[in-house]
Each structure stands twice: as C-alpha cells, then as structure tokens.
C-alpha cells in the first residue's frame, strides 16, 4: 500500500541533503513520523496545512518500512500509519509539489 507524507519545502530540502529524516516538528514532538493513506491526505492537508503553500507530497510503499510502521487510531477513529524511526530517502518512491488553488490543495492523482 502506498502511504503519503506531506512536508514543507524547507523540510523536504533538508531531507534531500541529509538523506534521512526524523520528520517535521510535529513528528519530533509526537515521537513518530505521521503518514496518511490516499483517503486521508485531503483531511490532513485541510487540518494541518490549510492555507500553506510550498508543500511537497512524498509517496512511500508501506511494505518497505518494516515493523516500525504501526497503524494507530487517530482523527475520527481512523487508523493512520506512524513510523517509529527515521525515514530514509531510498524509501521514497516519488515526490511532487502540492499546489494551493482556489479550491484547496491539488495533489495530483494518488495511488
């Protein structure tokens, strides 16, 4: 299953240099890296990135993350994927910019 991570451009830039990341500030605060499924991305963008530009969407194959990926109940009782270790650049399938349009964030097609 493909899962998604949303980063601000500056966070993505740092990840590209370091080749691994413990996540965004909220991830560091919570102790794990937050991901969303295809059906959760829009809600995550609306709740945590409402009016933000300069966002990047990363796609990751959840099967490659191993046992440190835990599915836990969160917003609305949905199960969300949480990674309890750093994410490595070689685990990212692809990345692309998220546009902020008059209708909200446009992510392009999700798998």
The full set of domains in the chain, from first to last, is: 2-98 (3.20.170.20)
Helix H or strand E segment including 9: helix 9-18
Residue 10 has pLDDT above 90, yes or no: yes
Could you give the CA distance from residue 29 to residue 55 in angstroms, rounded to a whole number? 20
pLDDT per position as a tens digit, 34-73: 999 999 999 999 999 998 999 999 999 999 999 999 999 9
Strand, helix or coil at 110? coil
Burial status of residue 74 (CB atoms within 10 A of its CB: 0-12, 13-18, 19 or more): middle
pLDDT per position as a tens digit, 82-99: 999 999 999 999 999 999
Mean pLDDT, range 74-80, rounded to an integer? 91
Helix H or strand E segment including 26: helix 25-30
Give, in order, the Cα–Cα distances in Å from 111 to each of 14, 41, 61, 97: 26, 12, 10, 16
């Amino acid at each position: 299953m493909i899962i998604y991570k949303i980063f601000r451009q500056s966070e993505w830039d740092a990840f590209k240099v370091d080749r691994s990341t413990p996540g965004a500030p909220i991830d560091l605060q919570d102790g794990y890296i937050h991901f969303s499924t295809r059906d959760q991305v829009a809600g995550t963008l609306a709740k945590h990135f409402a009016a933000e530009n300069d966002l990047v969407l990363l796609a990751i194959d959840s099967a490659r993350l191993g046992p440190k990926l835990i599915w836990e109940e969160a917003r609305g009782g949905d199960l969300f994927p949480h990674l309890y270790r750093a994410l490595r650049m070689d685990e990212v399938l692809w990345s692309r910019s998220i546009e902020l349009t008059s209708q909200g964030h446009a992510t392009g097609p999700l798998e």
